Structure 1
Amino acid sequence: MVQNILDFFKNLPDKYCTECGKKIDEQSECYGNTCPNCLHVKSHE
């Protein structure tokens, strides 16, 4: 049975950083598994 694509994405498990273990607020285009803090990424704010 084919599942609705939106339901599929809504039901994916949370992603956690492999370095510190914190939950990653994932972006749709992001395939990384390390959070921005562990990557030492600074925001553009």
Structure 2
Amino acid sequence: MVKNIVDFFKNLPAKQCAKCGSYIEEQHECYGHVCDECTDIQDL
């Protein structure tokens, strides 16, 4: 059981892109799994 939720989020490993394997520069607990270079979005 997690005793301190802050420690849980601080200790998450860095995320890697599911397509190219590069590390993703974002919060580790977010839902994204593909880096900006590998996304299919052309314009926001």
Give the share of equivalent positions with the same residue, in percent.
Answer: 56
Name the one with the larger strand percent. 1
* CA root-mean-square deviation: 2.6
Match of 1:26 in 2: 26
Shift of 1:14: 1.0
Which ranges of structure 2 fall in alignment gaps of 5 or more residues? none
In the alignment, does 2:17 pair up with 1:12? Answer: no
Deviations 1:16-38 (A, max 9, x none): 00111000012378311000111
Q: TM-score, normalised on structure 2? A: 0.69
Q: Distance in 2 between matches of 1:40 and 1:4?
A: 37
Aligned residues: 43
Cα distance in 2 between the residues matched to 1:40 and 1:23: 18
